[in-house]
Chain A
Amino acid sequence: MSLVPLKLAAFGATVPPVVRSGIRWIHDDGHACRANEIVAWCNVRVGVPTVNGTFSDEARDLQIAFATRVAGTLKRGADTSLGGFLDRLPELERWQVGQTIGHVELRAGEDANGHALRPMFVAGRRVVEVAEDRSGLLTGWHDRLRAWWGDGDAPPSTLMGLGICDQSTLFRGDAVPFHDWFAATRGPAHVVFVPDHVLAPCAAVLTEQLRRTPDEARAIRDDFTQTFARLAPSPEDWMFAGSLVAAVLRSPLGERLEVLGTSGVVPARGVDALVLSVGAEQPRLWRHRTLGYAISVHGYRLKEAGPALSSWLLREFESVRQGVDDARRDYDALIAALRAHGVGAILVMNAMSTSSYDDVTTYASYDAPLSTMIGSVRAKELNLMLHDVARAHDVSIVDNDAMAAELGAARHLTDSVHGSGALHAALRADILRILRERGVAGFEPV
């Protein structure tokens, strides 16, 4: 039986020094690894101090997960893990190219060339830097999460998920963050997920984010700090409202993203494929009375917000009904803005449109239009609207509605939004199918 070393990879000649924490092993010695299985990770920092802003907004939550290229029995290197903070803070030692952190023992008769370690980067941008949680791989409160294999020498294609919680575990996966995408694709690929913790990414909000000028952003920020402060907000109110307005002022689609690999630090090419959620189109949004910008917040979030936020919204904003026609108009505008911005393939997840709680025997009991009254009718009309959008703009629909029905929504999509692992696996496979049909490089099958 032969031992294949797990050696730390090189990251290009021009990369500033990389420092790392101790190794946090996921599996015990003797674990039977599958090929491409993640077996360990460590925290890293690129540049000391961070050079030229490289990964500066992800510096505290930049990690490398280690996969084995080959199947076999894991042999952990001695003294690679020191536990405690030494395995969490990336200052234990410099990254030493070629350092062996362990081995994989191949089964009898099997052979492998070279070393077995394959690095996968994960990076999270904290909502605020005090949102500290180094307990695991990509843990913490992040407003953007992403991952990429670190062994490619070409700029990767970028897939971005910009939806509501119907995308959260679909993108992140159940076990190792994002690994399900990379286990199924040849690469080089880069997967980004932007969660909707406070701000729902409806088409109107995303379009405004893309088009907002620095002066407009400054006006929103100044107006917020002045008008909100007058309401004697509690610290909790400030945190909620601050994270909301910070999310409004970002534009995830316009942010410069870099990746680190064997060629060093290279910029991603932009967003090659984007997945939206039609579920982000809520029946109402808040429109600022003087500055005109839109905020979309889930109702359950508003329920959790304090009195200052409710007063601020009621005083400064108008609550505007959003019908299906409004959503169509907003999608048209968003897609035009995305195309102008160079976004490649556009995919939209449709909504589950059947409710097991509905028992409608006559529509006469509901005011017209029904899409403003009955949730399942609104979902059906939004889904139909998406077909018009798809035809008009060459957009692909990820048919969440059909797949959930096929698997059984009572079991796999119990509340119409939060799906099972099996449903997310099916949706991931369908997204990959669409990317391959559209020729998005890097997402071909392994």
Chain B
Amino acid sequence: MLLTLTLPRIHDLMTAATIEAVYARAGDALAIGSKLCDLTVDLSAVAAQDCPPISHFRLVLRERLWVRDVAALPGGDVAVGATLMRFTTAPDEPLDGVPAREVRVSIAGILAQTDAWERQRA
């Protein structure tokens, strides 16, 4: 069965996110609880207040699956609904069908693990 992970709308006003880290690699067999990717959601443009809500989230897999391809790239901006990864329930299933459903994930608000400026320096 082909499954897909698209960028979920975590916040009502969110339209996009920045991919901070991608943990899943094509070909990996992932267990429940595997890290998939970290995101930053910056609502500065839609919530123009003194303390613009900039939040960081981690998406974690809630089922056993094989990663088949990964479209998300660290540093890339993606729109809500854009495909981040595709998965299958068996390692060698074809990828040309229509995804049966969204992959099941859990989401947690995380603290920024590296400062954006530290990344610049690196």
Chain A residues within 8 Å of B, Cβ to Cβ: 165, 197, 283-284, 298-300, 302-303, 310, 313-314, 319, 355, 357-362, 364-366, 372-376, 378, 415, 417-418
**In the complex, given contacts A300-B51, A373-B110, A374-B109, what are 20 additional A-B residue pairs having Cβ atoms less than 8 angstroms apart?**
A165-B51, A300-B52, A302-B116, A302-B117, A355-B109, A359-B106, A359-B107, A360-B60, A360-B108, A361-B60, A361-B62, A362-B33, A362-B106, A365-B35, A365-B58, A365-B106, A366-B108, A374-B110, A376-B108, A415-B53
Contact partners of B10 in chain A: CB under 8 A:
357
* Tally of contacts, chain A with chain B, CB under 8 A: 85
Whether A284 lies near B115 (C-beta < 8 A) is yes
Contacts of A284 in B (CB 8 A): 115
Contact in complex: B115, A374 (CB < 8 Å): no
What A residues does B33 contact at CB under 8 A? 361-362, 364-365
Asked whether, in the complex, the Cβ of B32 is within 8 Å of the Cβ of A314, the reply is: no
Q: Does B54 touch A at the CB level, under 8 Å?
A: yes
Q: Which of A302, A314, A376 contacts B109 (CB 8 A)?
A: A376
Chain A residues whose CB sits within 8 angstroms of the CB of B116 once the complex forms: 302-303
Task: Give B67 Cβ to nearest chain A Cβ, in Å.
Answer: 15
Q: Contact: A303 with B54, CB < 8 Å?
A: yes
Q: A357-B57, A365-B58, A365-B60 are in contact. Are A298 and B51 (CB under 8 A)?
A: yes
Q: Which residues of B contact A362 (CB under 8 A)?
A: 32-33, 60, 106
Q: Which of B44, B50, B54 has the most CB of A within 10 A?
A: B50
Per-residue interface assignment for chain B, residues 89 to 119, with 1 indicating a CB less than 8 Å from any chain A CB and 0 otherwise? 0000000000000000011111111011110
Are A375 and B111 touching (Cβ within 8 A)? yes
Looking across the interface, which residue of chain A has its beta carbon closest to that of B32?
A: A362
Interface string of B48-73 (1 = CB under 8 A from A): 01111111011010100000000000
Q: Please tell me if the beta carbons of B51 and A360 are within 8 angstroms of each other in the complex.
A: no
B-to-A contact residues, CB < 8 Å: 10-11, 32-35, 42, 44, 49-55, 57-58, 60, 62, 106-113, 115-118, 120-121
Q: In the complex, how many angstroms separate the beta carbon of B89 from the nearest chain A beta carbon? A: 19
In Å, the complex CA distance between A372 and B112 comes to 9
Q: Given the known A-B contacts A303-B54, A364-B33, are A357 and B107 also in contact in the complex, defined by CB atoms under 8 Å?
A: yes
Known A358-B107, A360-B106, A365-B35: A313·B117 in contact at CB below 8 Å: yes
- Chain B residues with CB under 8 A of A415: 53
- Tell me whether B44 and A300 are in contact (CB under 8 A): yes
Please measure, in the bound complex, the distance between the C-alpha atom of A94 and the C-alpha atom of B33, giving whole angstroms: 73
List 17 A-B residue pairs with CB atoms under 8 Å apart, sorted by A's residue number: A283-B111, A283-B112, A298-B51, A303-B42, A303-B52, A303-B116, A310-B117, A358-B109, A361-B60, A361-B62, A362-B60, A362-B106, A365-B34, A373-B110, A374-B110, A376-B108, A418-B51
- How far, in whole Å, are A302 and B110 apart by their CA atoms in the complex? 18
The distance from the CB of A38 to the nearest CB of chain B, in whole angstroms, is 25
- Cβ contacts under 8 Å, A364 to chain B: 33
Provide the residues of chain A in CB contact with B62, threshold 8 Å.
361
What's the minimum C-beta distance from B36 to chain A, rounded to whole angstroms? 9
Among B35, B111, B121, the residue within 8 A (CB) of A378 is: B111
Within 8 Å by CB of B110, from A313, A319, A359, A375, lies A375
Contacts of B32 in A (CB 8 A): 362
* Chain B residues in 8 Å Cβ range of A313: 117
Closest-by-CB residue of A relative to B52 is: A300
Complex: A170 Cα to B42 Cα, angstroms:
26
